Amino acid sequence: MTTKIKKNILKLKESSTLAINEKSKELIKVGKKIYRFGFGQSPFQIPEKIVEALRLNASKKEYLPIQGLPELREKISNYLFNRTGVKYPKENILITPGSKEAMLLMHVTFNGEILTPAPSWVSYEPQAEIGRNKVHWLETSKVNNWFPTAKELENKLKKISKKKNIILILNSPNNPSGAICENFEEIAKIAKKYNLIILSDEIYTDLSFDNKYQSISKYYPDHTFISGGLSKWCGAGGWRLGFLAVPNGSKEFMNSLKSLASESYSTVNTPTQFAAVEAYNGDYEDYKLKVRAILNAVGTFVYNNLKSNKILINPPQGAFYLMPEFKNKKFKSSSQLCEAILHDTGVAMLPGSDFGFKPNKMLTRLSYTDFDGVQFFKKVTDYKSISEEMIKKYAPNVVEGTAKLSNWAKNL
Ligand code: PMP
Ligand code: GLU
């Protein structure tokens, strides 16, 4: 039997982040030593009080409103206001099963075109294709910290802006580069001039190593959508709890999002929404300080030990990624490069081509989360002094994988 598939769906493959996770696990199962630098998942435990809130609410079984628990939306509204200075009232917030779903609903609802910097997270383009919105890539460069300058953005818009109906996706700290955007203000000016809509993916913003929460919404509040959730700062990726905050004046858009939600997942599971109230209401600053300090220390270790005349790389600023560039003429594509590295060293990474770069750019994404975050977290008493000895003791796979990669690159 051949069950016919729509053309735009047939084109999709399994998301490469999830695929590398499964491939790494399979290789480990058959006895291979694999350094899991491919998948990006927080290694830390969820704060105990939040887990306790989930336990206490496990027996709650009624469906909640489509848009999400009002109390949770209120807390997220306050959380965003405290960080961005912009008021997204609770009526403007939709709770979703992960922010990935929030973005998908947005793509399905929106009628226009998508502009996204290269590099960008692997799922933006496929999601836009599911929504049948055309995607434009905006190349960025290492010298500009992998974010577009105002001039680059304007030049690109001049070429494509006849439709004047464009969403620009921004993600800072960035997956895959680990960089923080330092020019939101000038980007916002151009966005205003061209009447762009911004989708600000703030899933990692609480993991900014400078401890500042920066959002473009501050400069362009009435056109900025924000997505976020518990997956990264709180270590709760598997809980699938995210949100979308829509700017004022988007009631019709929100109603369509709600219709889509009601016809697909109905509403997010009840116990997790109650637990999330605790996550957004409680004070988890100490937890975040420690998580950021450990990630920063591990990321900096990897950076220091990789950078060389064969590997170009910018220092880590947030999230848990680095984007090394290998100088070589041997490989034709970044996926060939990643396959060779995996074969020769056991280090699993993702190719830059999954993040919007041309295949012949020898960029890769390295996630430095292959360590037992629960143990590491417990052992850190002073987050200001995480020594190299601690990194060696509590993140041995990261240390070993980095050494293998660095040695491998010497022969390029
Ligand atoms: N945006 C980026 C840049 C991500 O890396 C992720 C993590 N997969 C997400 C969004 C989605 O996160 P979640 O659906 O778990 O909220
Ligand atoms: N965000 C993670 C990554 O980029 C994985 C989860 C996902 O892609 O949904 O590796």
Index of the ligand 1 atom closest to the CA of residue 319: 5
Provide residues with CB under 6 Å of ligand 2: 15, 17-18, 39-40, 100, 175
- Segment 70-84 shows an average pLDDT of 98
Considering the chain, what percentage of its residues have pLDDT values greater than 90? 91
Q: What's the chain's average pLDDT?
A: 96
Beta strands 113-118 and 134-139, pairing class: parallel
- The pTM (predicted TM-score) of the whole model is 0.96
Å from CA of 28 to ligand 1 middle: 25
Q: What's the confidence (pLDDT) of residue 163?
A: 65
Å from CA of 329 to ligand 1 middle: 33
User: Which of the listed residues 103, 170, 202, 203 should we mutate to test ligand 1's pocket, taking the one with most ligand atoms within 8 A of CB?
Assistant: 203
Residue with tokens 């996630």, as numbered in its chain: 367
Which position has the higher pLDDT, 144 or 23? 144
Task: Report the alpha-carbon distance of residue 27 to residue 374 in Å, rounded.
Answer: 24
Q: What's the confidence (pLDDT) of residue 83?
A: 97
Measuring from atom 5 of ligand 1, which residue has the nearest CA? 175
- How confident is the model over 174-216, as pLDDT tens digits? 999 999 999 999 999 999 999 999 999 999 999 999 999 999 9
Crossing angle (nearest 10°) for helices 334-345 and 396-410: 110
Q: Where are the domains of the chain?
A: 7-45+285-409, 48-281
Measuring from atom 5 of ligand 2, which residue has the nearest CA? 40
- How confident is the model over 209-267, as pLDDT tens digits? 999 999 999 999 999 999 999 999 999 999 999 999 999 999 999 999 999 999 999 99
Å from CA of 17 to ligand 2 middle: 5
Task: Please tell me the least confidently modeled range out of 92-101, 370-379, 380-389.
Answer: 380-389
3 state SS for 303-364:
HHHHCCCCEECCCCCECCEECCEECCCCCCCHHHHHHHHHHHHCEECEEHHHHCCCCCCCEE
User: Which of the listed residues 13, 14, 41, 123 should we mutate to test ligand 2's pocket, taking the one with most ligand atoms within 8 A of CB?
Assistant: 41
CATH entry, 48-281, from 3.40.50.10490, 3.40.1410.10, 3.30.1330.10, 3.40.640.10: 3.40.640.10
We find that the CATH architecture of domain 7-45+285-409 is Alpha-Beta Complex (3.90)
